[in-house]
Amino acid sequence: MLIVAVVVVTVAAGVSLGLLATGDNGASAGSEQRRSAPGLSEAASPSAPRQAPTPTPSPTRSYPLSTAPRTIPAVTSHTAARGPGWRPVKGERVVVNDKGLADEGRLIAGELGLTYAGEKDDVRAGDVRLTLKGDEGADPESYSMTVSGGRVTISGPGEAGVFYGTRTLKQEVHDGGTAPEGVVRDAPAKPVRGFMLDIARKYFTADWIEDRVRELGDLKFNQLGLHFSDDQGFRIESTSHPEIVSQQHLTKAQVKKIVELAESRHITVVPEIDSPGHLGAVIAAHPDLQLRNVNGVATRGAVDISKPESAEIVDDLLNEYAGLFPGNQWHLGGDEYQALVVSNPEASYPQLATAAREAYGSQGTVADLATGWLNDRAATVRAHDRTPRAWNDGFFRNTSVQPDKDIQVAYWTGKEIGARVPLEYLREGRKVINYNDEFLYYVLGEPQTFVYPTGERIYEQWTPRVLRGTTAVPATYDDQILGGSFAVWCDLANSQTQAQVADGIRMPLRATVQKLWDAGEPKLSWAEFKALADRLD
């Protein structure tokens, strides 16, 4: 009876010790103890030699599987893993494998309180390593981020992708957060993710614009449009035509600083000098260029495109600013030329009709002449290796002169006279950028039928295929839609202050980039998305 009791106590002790030691894989060391229980019974017999007890391993901490990071925009995929994740600790390093990543490395190091250590091959605890990897044909804006072993590695085929990885990391650890263990693989759905600002009708300070550049960079936008010439003002210093520049304007030095800041965030600044309409500031200094109708009445904002001097001054400006804006994109405008909103342009503007016939034969029209103007301006910026774009109502039906094939369509409205439905452009094979005024136009003062767009409506109802109104074009055309741009227009400039504009566009910008980065249905509800934005700001 005594011997049996000893055996029971010993086995029970072995089982309880084994249950205490649990590894990361969930397997209990007690399973080994239980398999050796018969041996312990034999050892308890008087005839068996006494053996030393087997050491029990110390308990190992077990982590639950990580959850995907919550960021704006959401990451494309996350492979979960077990581990503590990563948090920045002052003095730990950011290292790179290529000097081309120095700017990205210095930026994230400064933001997280780390030390930028440059190009290093050694591995230390707590490191953030930025890596360029050769991956021919991969999206240069894609990246992967691995959090493992107390370190972070962000790699991508291009500097832009690595930069976006640092933006994800910055959001993950915001306000004491932890970058979750595992692997993020991420890439944008659309290559154009833009924000356009009308600085012609309303002067915005350089500091305010720089703040927006930083905001856009953290949200993974990659284009900033500057509409700086219109009837109300011309807002950037000019050496070729200083007489047209408004009193309140940005100097070239200020613009250069904005452009450099944008480049450091992988944002291309897209300039726009709208023509042949919306040139009131130029006309104010050159009234002889203003378009007049058959009765001699001036046409607001429009230059007379039958006059060679009109083309010369616009080309002077395009050539001048090509040196200030080094990006590969240029917006030519082309919208709302008032000669083409009357019932009979040829009768109303006989000088334009004459010029059209001289240029394109007896059947030439004012629409042909305007199309030729657009093509000529496209040729001017193309000589500087720029890809041109123009507003959709600068493309006309039934013209003998066709817009150049490489001019991208900035589709904003179906409300203008002669506006064509999006499918007409898509069926022609044109590339289209979505500026849908139903969702993406923030027009100061809400004139006409405009209302301030909400982030909630964009988040729940808009996609890049919703080019006009609220109806999406067929998915077969998705690849021709390069992306989209949220736009601020300052029709009633004093309706809001700069601070009010920044506050008003905050959630619409976040909703827009979410829909441009991730092609899928958002996983968060609007309330959850807004709460996330509030936490990350």
Residue pLDDT, tens place only, 455-470: 999 999 999 999 999 9
Domain check: are 358 and 408 in the same one? yes
Residue type, 459: Y
Instruction: Give 85's contacts (C-beta < 8 A, 6+ positions apart).
Output: 66, 147, 178, 179, 180, 181
Task: Calculate the average pLDDT of the chain.
Answer: 90
Instruction: Give 456's contacts (C-beta < 8 A, 6+ positions apart).
Output: 507, 511, 526, 530
Instruction: Give 198's contacts (C-beta < 8 A, 6+ positions apart).
Output: 227, 230, 487, 488, 489, 490
165 in a domain, yes or no? yes
Query: For residue 54, what pLDDT is reported?
Result: 56
Instruction: Tell me the pLDDT band of 416, cut-offs 50, 70 and 90.
Output: confident
To the nearest whole percent, how much of the chain has pLDDT over 70? 88
Instruction: Tell me the pLDDT band of 355, cut-offs 50, 70 and 90.
Output: very high
d(CA 221, CA 193): 5
Instruction: Tell me the pLDDT band of 58, cut-offs 50, 70 and 90.
Output: low
Residue 40: in which H helix or E strand, if any? helix 37-43
Average pLDDT over residues 177-187: 98
Average pLDDT over residues 248-272: 98
Q: Among 164, 186, 208, where does a domain finish?
A: 186
Query: For residue 53, what pLDDT is reported?
Result: 56
Q: Among 171, 186, 201, where does a domain finish?
A: 186
d(CA 131, CA 95): 9
Domain check: are 423 and 345 in the same one? yes
Three-class DSSP category at 447: coil
139 in a domain, yes or no? yes
Domains identified in the chain, total number? 2
Tell which residue, 218, 208, 239, has the closest CA to residue 169: 218
Give the DSSP letter of residue 429.
T
- Check pLDDT > 90 for residue 47: no
d(CA 487, CA 491): 12
Domain check: are 93 and 205 in the same one? no
Average pLDDT over residues 426-434: 97
Domain check: are 152 and 238 in the same one? no
Average pLDDT over residues 177-197: 98
Average pLDDT over residues 247-254: 98
Tell which residue, 404, 349, 353, 401, has the closest CA to residue 377: 404
Taking CA atoms, 351 is separated from 84, 354, 357, in Å, by: 75, 5, 10
The active-site residue out of 104, 336, 438, 528 is 336
Residues paired with 270 in a beta bridge: 225
Instruction: Tell me the pLDDT band of 13, cut-offs 50, 70 and 90.
Output: very low
Domain check: are 181 and 197 in the same one? no
d(CA 26, CA 361): 84
> What are φ and ψ of residue 382, in 5° steps?
-65, -30
Domain check: are 126 and 218 in the same one? no
Residue 387: in which H helix or E strand, if any? strand 387-391
Instruction: Tell me the pLDDT band of 21, cut-offs 50, 70 and 90.
Output: very low
64 in a domain, yes or no? no
Residue 372 is part of a domain; what is its CATH number? Answer: 3.20.20.80
Query: For residue 55, what pLDDT is reported?
Result: 55
Domain check: are 464 and 413 in the same one? yes
Give the DSSP letter of residue 66.
P
- Check pLDDT > 50 for residue 45: no
Establish whether the linkage from the previous residue to 88 is cis, with ω within 30° of 0.
no
Domain check: are 441 and 379 in the same one? yes
461 in a domain, yes or no? yes
pTM for the complete prediction? 0.88
12 in a domain, yes or no? no
Domain check: are 156 and 231 in the same one? no
- Check pLDDT > 80 for residue 41: no
- Look up 42 and say whether it is catalytic: no
Average pLDDT over residues 119-129: 96
* Cα–Cα–Cα angle for 503, 508, 513, rounded to 5 degrees: 125
Instruction: Tell me the pLDDT band of 60, cut-offs 50, 70 and 90.
Output: low
Average pLDDT over residues 280-299: 98
Domain check: are 165 and 222 in the same one? no
Which range has the worst mean pLDDT, 30-34, 141-145, 387-391?
A: 30-34
Query: For residue 50, what pLDDT is reported?
Result: 54
Query: For residue 7, what pLDDT is reported?
Result: 32
Residue pLDDT, tens place only, 69-112: 999 999 999 999 999 999 999 999 999 999 999 999 999 999 99
Query: For residue 373, what pLDDT is reported?
Result: 98
Residue 391: in which H helix or E strand, if any? strand 387-391
User: Residue written as tokens 């039906």?
Assistant: 397
182 in a domain, yes or no? yes
Q: Among 140, 169, 186, where does a domain finish?
A: 186
50 in a domain, yes or no? no
Average pLDDT over residues 194-199: 98
Residue pLDDT, tens place only, 463-514: 999 999 999 999 999 999 999 999 999 999 999 999 999 999 999 999 999 9
Query: For residue 533, what pLDDT is reported?
Result: 98
Domain check: are 370 and 442 in the same one? yes
Tell which residue, 337, 322, 348, 315, has the closest CA to residue 270: 322
Average pLDDT over residues 303-316: 98
Residue pLDDT, tens place only, 135-166: 878 999 999 999 999 999 999 999 999 999 99
- Check pLDDT > 90 for residue 64: yes
Average pLDDT over residues 5-28: 33
Domain check: are 177 and 209 in the same one? no
d(CA 480, CA 190): 10
Residue 115 is part of a domain; what is its CATH number? Answer: 3.30.379.10
Strands 408-411 and 329-333: unpaired
Strands 93-96 and 128-132: parallel
11 in a domain, yes or no? no
Domain containing 307 equals 192-536
Query: For residue 62, what pLDDT is reported?
Result: 84
d(CA 225, CA 268): 8
**DSSP string spanning 320-377?**
HHHTT--SSEEEEE----GGGSSS-HHHH-HHHHHHHHHHH-TT--HHHHHHHHHHHH
- Check pLDDT > 60 for residue 23: no
- Check pLDDT > 80 for residue 40: no
Give the DSSP letter of residue 56.
P
d(CA 249, CA 24): 63
| Length, in residues, of the chain | 537
